[in-house]
Amino acid sequence: MSFEVTILGNSSASPTHSRHPSSQYVNICDHHLLIDCGEGTQMQLARYKIKKSKISQIFISHVHGDHILGLPGLLLSMNLMKREQPIHIFGPPELFKILDVFFKYSDTQFCFETHYHIVDPNKRSVVFENLFYKVIAFPLFHRVPTTGFLIEERSKLKKLNMEVCERLKIPFTFYNDIKMGKDYCTPEGKWIKNEELTFPAALPISYAYCSDTLFDERVIDAVRDADILYHEATFMHDRLDRAVYTMHTTAKQAGIVARQAGAKKLIVGHFSARYDDLEPILLEARSEFPNTEIAQEGKTFILE
């Protein structure tokens, strides 16, 4: 099952020529998602040869410009390409008010369905699920209502113990039920416990995205045991005052979140334009959590 994340932008609010505002592309089981959509996202998709036509869901963390200003243009380009399949957009209520006003005055009629899904930024909730994955929104702590997103594979099927199944001559039509955890009843009426028929399923994989937030213990709880945690690290720790004032996190704090949450890997991003060299940010985060990487634009991280 594919599960990978490509970084499209790693800049905070003030982009540079070489660093773009927040956006990430997620491919999970051939479902194609965007998380956040800062200015220039459609050009970044073109740069990294990701077809915008296949994106079906867009998750927006909050309505600051560096997370949404690429969205109207992306939707307009999809329209010009005569997209047919619907698109689903998940975000705070304010997002849809902004989109509505823009599309009203620019006199835009879409040739495809646009479904708006309001995310409540005040509580943890499953905002989407299908057979393959679910997306959970959870509160972050920023200057406007903001959520992070946790993308989790659905629980995997157990693996059949074929030696036992064949010895008991279980018809294969029961296999799916057994893989999903059900016990089996023989024609003679004897119940065989599922544990005797299967091996445990592999653990589901999860990706946590924390866009803009203060360092807060509730975030640690929200992203517990993520296989990969993306966390903003707008400033280095010598600018903690500035981070607190603007409700952002330092690289050191991002490392602490990853360590305390038991994440397997940390990716840091959303860098202030003041930092030309990202190496010191990486080293600071690694001082708390060694398995840290920079959210390098164009890089694809594979979850496995």
Check binding of 190 to a copy of itself (CB under 8 A). no
Q: Using CB under 8 A, pick the residue from 8, 13, 135, 140 that binds a copy of itself.
A: 13
Residues paired with 99 in a beta bridge:
none
Check binding of 39 to a copy of itself (CB under 8 A). yes
Residue labelled with tokens 């334009």: 273
Q: Report the candidate in 210, 218, 281, 283 with the shortest Cα–Cα distance to residue 248.
A: 210
Q: Is 107 a catalytic residue?
A: no
CA distances from 120 to 58, 95, 136, 206 (A): 16, 12, 11, 21
Q: Using CB under 8 A, pick the residue from 32, 53, 76, 286 that binds a copy of itself.
A: 76
Stretch that binds a copy of itself, among 102-110, 125-133, 212-220, 291-299 (CB under 8 A): 102-110
Q: In angstroms, what is the minimal distance from the CB of 65 to a copy of itself?
A: 5
Q: Round to whole Å and give the CA distance between 33 and 43.
A: 16
Q: Round to whole Å and give the CA distance between 100 and 31.
A: 26
Stretch that binds a copy of itself, among 42-50, 123-131, 146-154, 227-235 (CB under 8 A): 42-50
Residue nearer to a copy of itself on the CB measure, 144 or 164: 144
Q: x/- site string to a copy of itself, residues 112 to 141, per CB under 8 A?
A: ------------------------------
Check binding of 214 to a copy of itself (CB under 8 A). no
Long-range contacts of 73-78 (CB under 8 A, 24+ apart): 73/42, 74/37, 74/41, 74/42, 74/45, 75/99, 75/110, 75/114, 76/106, 76/108, 77/42, 77/52, 78/52, 78/53, 78/112
DSSP designation for 174:
G
Q: Using CB under 8 A, pick the residue from 7, 63, 119, 136 that binds a copy of itself.
A: 63
In the set 30, 36, 66, 177, the catalytic residue is 66
Helix (H, G, I), strand (E, B), or coil: what is residue 205?
coil
Q: Round to whole Å and give the CA distance between 253 and 217.
A: 11
Check binding of 91 to a copy of itself (CB under 8 A). no
139-158 residues in contact with a copy of itself (CB under 8 A) are: 143-144
Residue nearer to a copy of itself on the CB measure, 110 or 175: 110
Which positions touch a copy of itself (CB under 8 A)?
13-17, 20-21, 39-40, 42-43, 46-47, 63-66, 69-70, 72-73, 76-77, 80-81, 94-95, 97-98, 101-102, 105-107, 143-144
Catalytic residue list = 66
